[in-house]
């Protein structure tokens, strides 16, 4: 594979997967700190029950796995396309 095509593929995967993955990761971290019971009370809303809280944590876990996959895609694409292949003799 040509080097310029490999660089373009890596940049496109960073823009389409890496940047949204990092954005989702930081929004996930923000959601861990903002959705406490005190935030609900401050807004004048009743805090969620135990079952709803369990689903919220399950959703966060799914989002965490999704963000890790999105961040790993450009790394794998970069390694696979930019590596030097051994030439057969």
Digit-coded pLDDT (tens) for 6-18: 889 899 999 999 9
Q: How confident is the model at residue 35 (pLDDT cuts 50, 70, 90)?
A: low
Decide if 46 is inside a domain: yes
Decide if 87 is inside a domain: no
Cβ atoms 74, 14 nearer than 8 A: yes
Decide if 88 is inside a domain: no
Angle, CA 71 vertex, CA 66 and CA 72 arms, to 5°: 95
Decide if 25 is inside a domain: yes
Return the structure tokens found at 44. 């004048």
**For position 13, what pLDDT does the model report?**
92
Mean pLDDT, the chain, whole residue set? 82
In this prediction, residues 27-47 reach a mean pLDDT of 73
Domain that holds residue 57: 3-82
In this prediction, residues 40-49 reach a mean pLDDT of 72
The pTM for the full model equals 0.71
Tabulate helix, strand, coil % of the chain (nearest 5).
80, 0, 20
**For position 21, what pLDDT does the model report?**
92
**Tally of domains in the chain:** 1
């Amino acid at each position: 594979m040509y080097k310029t095509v490999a660089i373009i593929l890596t940049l496109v995967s960073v823009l389409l997967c890496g940047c949204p993955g990092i954005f989702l990761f930081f929004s996930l971290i923000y959601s861990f700190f903002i959705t406490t019971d005190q935030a609900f009370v401050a807004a004048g809303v009743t805090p969620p029950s135990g079952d709803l809280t369990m689903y919220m944590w399950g959703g966060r876990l799914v989002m965490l796995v999704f963000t890790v996959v999105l961040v790993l895609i450009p790394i794998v694409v970069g390694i696979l396309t930019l590596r030097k292949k051994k030439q057969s003799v």
